[in-house]
Amino acid sequence: MQVRGKTVAVTGGGNGIGRELVLLLLDRGARVAALDISEPGLAETMRLAGDRADRVSTHVVDITDRDAVGALPEAVIAAHGQVDGLINCAGIIQPFVRFNELDYSAIDRIININLYGTIHTCKAFLPHLLKRPEAHLLNVSSMGGFVPVPGQTMYGVTKAGVMLLTEALHSELAATNVAVTVVFPGAVATHISENSGVTTAAEAKAQAANSTIKMTAPTDAARMMLDGMERDAYRVMVGPDAKFMDRLSRLSPLRAATIIYKQMKELLP
């Protein structure tokens, strides 16, 4: 689906890749409903939109709240007259601890945001997307959804769930007007650890400075995602690490898991 002239709702639009998606959608001539739990984050996205802000609406919402999410499509349609696309970009990581040390409050939080949040928005928006001449649903999974990352077990579980949910929706909607894409980012230079409450800003900055992992810029990640959306791609790998691990995990799952373990083991307590 070409996004020019379309209205696209973006979760996580107040920071990181989500914010870059909002701005790039505007660059490409779309109208955008930016959804996020952070009102200050959405205000900054609106500021960055500049003279294009007349094509943006902002909606403060907790995607774990099913009733609040259920009211979103009508709010978006009231602001823009239509809704043609949904990009589920909102998500968090878990504290870098082994599963055995992860408490249930953290488990519940990550499942509710990453998996149920995506389910809620898909359920809310899909009936409206099906009414459009053409529409698109894009869900962001993760490289951690197809290779295990030590210390991010439940994150991987939720992102694997998003992967299969999206691929199943692709099959269910194959004969409809709704195209479906699943995205697998590798390491992207965002503030996800801070926004997830896993690290402080100072800790995150120190980790980034000491990291040997090459990260994809959020602007590049957003471009790859929208390029995939506009060509109705089935899958999009974001970053050289995601592309490499996708190939390797198919050829040798154990070798892929071992490589990730060696890279990430220092983060485990």
Catalytically annotated residues: 155
Name the β-bridge partners of 251: none
Q: Using CA atoms, how far apart are residues 96 and 264, in angstroms rounded to an integer? A: 10
147: Cβ contacts below 8 Å, ≥ 6 apart: 245, 249, 253, 256, 257, 260
Name the β-bridge partners of 243: none
Amino acid at 13: G
Burial class of residue 269, CB neighbours in 10 A (0-12, 13-18, 19+): exposed
DSSP label at residue 148: -
User: Half-sphere exposure of 32 toward its Cβ, with a 13 Å CA cutoff?
Assistant: 31
12 in Cβ contact with 36 (< 8 Å): yes
